[in-house]
Amino acid sequence: MSEMTRPAMARLPKFFRGVDPAVATAFACIVLLLVFGSFYSTSFLSPEYLLQQLKVASFLGVIATGMMIVILLGQIDLSVPWSVAVGGMMACAAAAFGPMGVALAIPFGILCGALIGVVNGIGVAYLRIPSMIITLATNAVAQGLMVVYTGGFSPQDSATAAMREIATGELIPSVPNAVIIWAVIGAGAVFLLTRTTFGRSVYAIGNRERAAYLSGVDTRRIVLIAFAISGALSAFGGVLLAGYASKAAQSMGDTYLLPSIAAVVLGGTSILGGRGSYLGTIAGVILITLLQSILSVMQMPEAGRQVIYGVVIVGMLLLYGRSPASR
């Protein structure tokens, strides 16, 4: 920062001086998208439409929460697509086993995703396999297992009433349950990252793993837990999506890999690890959701959307990936 800009920054309120530029940029882009979208549809700024978009954002927000924790380590989780699908499909499958299966459907689906995360964590932390390789491999294995389970056909099991309620119901009038769930998970993530030894260790490993290890951090255990959390949250996202659609689908997680990464890096989390805040991830999730909505209105094909997400990730890496860690 130059000598000329320091006095100007000092005159700003303390709140604004502490805001990450990437987070501020993300929120500014949200405002621009809202204004831009209002030109395509007069209902774009209506409370009903915005609440619906926030509900849709909740599914991505749950998945992106786990992705953020992994990226803060300087790692990546490419098993998201089939962790999502496994969570939804296994939760629906459990419901076919009577009342006990119905009661355990949601935790069983989450557990299956956590197991995928544990495999990823063991590969990265203990076997020292690059996260890009091991998570891509477990994604392929999960895909193969689900194809074998379904015989190559669409799953026939339906979501339970509880799954539909948490995804589409409203415990508080006019506030979707999915939004409340995202808020609870987000609050838990903020507490975990800012108020616990685990969170401090995640940032330390992301900045410099060897230094964290020499300072007494059990780096392998932290990495294992982080990937398990990512897998569990991806699977929970799949449970919510299955409840939203009343059934699971094999391709239900395919469209969430790049958006979840893009949402995290758009919010200023360094893809090289060690720096980022959950407020930025919230902004990134909302920004990606609004962008998806506008692209849908413009009838942008899915291939074009994936290109845009890729460009966003590369652009944010060039802008923030080489900046020094702030933690």
| pLDDT score at 283 | 93
> What band does 2 get if pLDDT is binned at 50, 70 and 90?
very low
Distances (CA, A) of 197 to 13, 30, 200, 220: 31, 33, 5, 14
With contact defined as beta carbons under 8 Å apart, do 209 and 127 qualify? no
Q: Is residue 84 over pLDDT 90?
A: yes
- Non-local (6+) Cβ contacts of 35 within 8 A are none
User: Comparing 149-158, 168-177, 316-325, which segment has the lowest mean pLDDT?
Assistant: 316-325
pLDDT tens by residue, 194-233 = 999 999 999 999 999 999 999 999 999 999 999 999 999 9
Between 121 and 174, the more confident residue is 121
For position 11, what pLDDT does the model report?
Answer: 54
Q: Say what the pLDDT of residue 324 is.
A: 46
Provide mean pLDDT across the span 258-277. 89
Query: How large is the greatest C-alpha to C-alpha distance in the chain, in angstroms?
Result: 70
The predicted-structure confidence for 47-61, as pLDDT tens digits, reads as follows 888 898 999 999 999
The pLDDT-based confidence of 1 (bands split at 50, 70, 90) is: very low
Q: What is each CA distance from 54 to 49, 177, 213, 236, 318, in whole angstroms?
A: 9, 11, 40, 17, 29
In the prediction, which pLDDT does 303 show? Answer: 80
Length of the chain measured in residues: 327
- pLDDT tens-place string over residues 231-254: 999 999 999 999 999 998 888 999
The confidence score (pLDDT) of residue 325 equals 41
Residue 291 has pLDDT above 90, yes or no: no
In this prediction, residue 17 has a pLDDT band, given cuts at 50, 70 and 90, of low
pLDDT of residue 6: 47
Higher-confidence residue of 279 and 33: namely 279
- Of residues 46 and 229, the one with the higher pLDDT is 229
Query: Average model confidence (pLDDT) for the chain?
Result: 87
Q: Is 157 helix (H, G, I), strand (E, B) or coil?
A: coil
Position 18 scores a pLDDT of: 59
Q: List, for residues 22-39, the tens digit of each pLDDT value.
A: 788 888 888 888 888 788
Contact of 238 with 85, CB cutoff 8 Å: yes
CA gap 144, 148 in Å, rounded: 6
> Which pLDDT value is given to residue 14?
52
pTM for the model: 0.89
Residue 114 Cα to chain centre, angstroms = 15
Q: Taking residues 292-302, what's their average pLDDT?
A: 79
The pLDDT tens digits for 113-130 are 999 999 999 999 999 999
Structure confidence at residue 232 (pLDDT): 97
Highest mean pLDDT of the ranges 16-20, 21-25, 164-168, 248-252: 164-168
Residue 29 or 4, more confident: 29
